[in-house]
Amino acid sequence: MTKLTTVYLGLVFLIFSGGGFSAAQNTTAVFEQPLLITSAGQNAEVQLAAVLAKRAGLNYVLSKMATATEMENTKTLALVLGASLKGLGAAGLDVDKERERVRALAAEAQQRNIPIFCLHLGGESRRGQQTDSLMAEFLPLAKMAIVVKSGNSDGFFTKICQEKNILLIEVEKTADALEPLQKAFK
């Protein structure tokens, strides 16, 4: 999307929304609870996602290495995207094993018609070849994504979300994800 088109769409939104822009204003409740929060890359941000879910008053389960057997009572799968070599090592995994785990989880979610919700809370510091590879595979499966804006400075998320018609919400910092997270769940 060109800068002019982006500015135009932003102005149209402001005119019709009656005020200042907040990413959460564009968020509608599309997900049901309980949600299963897991990491896609064994990152530390999965813990931050759980804190946000708790503050949002959501019914959730945090399982850093969730498997398909944990999907029984799940209504939404939240994937926290970002590869951490330290986290992978501590979990006794390499990137390929982690990818297989998340693939199996995503396949189970799709089989059960459980929507996938993605978060990228690490910003630019959590980007890199391994993270981008995981995101390129799993982000297209999502219905919605909340990302820290600095992690999308190259338009990586924007491009995938536009191509796959995924609602993308950018926030300045992790704490700003609270409001759109609350509004995304029934």
Question: pLDDT tens-digit profile of 39-84?
Answer: 999 999 999 999 999 999 999 999 999 999 999 999 999 999 999 9
Asked if the structure places residue 1 within a domain, the reply is no
Within a domain: 4: no
CB neighbours of residue 48 within 10 Å: 17
Range of the domain at 128: 23-184
Look at residue 39 and tell me if it is in a domain.
yes
Q: What is the CATH number of the domain that holds 165?
A: 3.40.50
Range scoring the smallest mean pLDDT among 79-83, 123-127, 155-159, 167-171: 123-127
Tell me, yes or no, whether 8 lies in a domain: no
> Domain for residue 40, yes or no?
yes
**pLDDT the model gives residue 26:** 53
| Residue 27, pLDDT score | 57
101-144 per-position pLDDT tens digit? 999 999 999 999 999 999 999 989 889 999 999 999 999 999 99
* Mean pLDDT across the chain: 86
- Helix segments in the chain, DSSP class H: 3-17, 45-55, 85-90, 95-111, 129-138, 156-164, 178-184
Structural domain total, the chain: 1
Q: How far apart are CA 133 and CA 178, in angstroms?
A: 26
Q: Does the residue 12 lie in any domain?
A: no
The helix or strand, by DSSP H or E, that contains position 142, with its residue range, turns out to be strand 142-148
Q: What is the mean pLDDT of residues 24-42?
A: 82
Predicted pLDDT of residue 28: 65
pTM: 0.84
**Does the structure show a pLDDT above 60 at 17?**
no
- Per-residue b or e along 122-161, where b marks 16 or more CB atoms closer than 10 Å to that residue's CB: bbeebbeebbeebbeebbebbbbbbbbbebbeeebbeebb
Residue 135 maps to a domain: yes
Is 16's pLDDT higher than 70?
A: no
Mean per-residue pLDDT, 28-42: 92
Q: Is residue 16 part of a domain?
A: no
Per-residue pLDDT, 118: 97
- Indicate whether 4 pLDDT > 80: no
What does the block give as tokens for 65? 């290495």
Tokens 């989880």, residue?
105
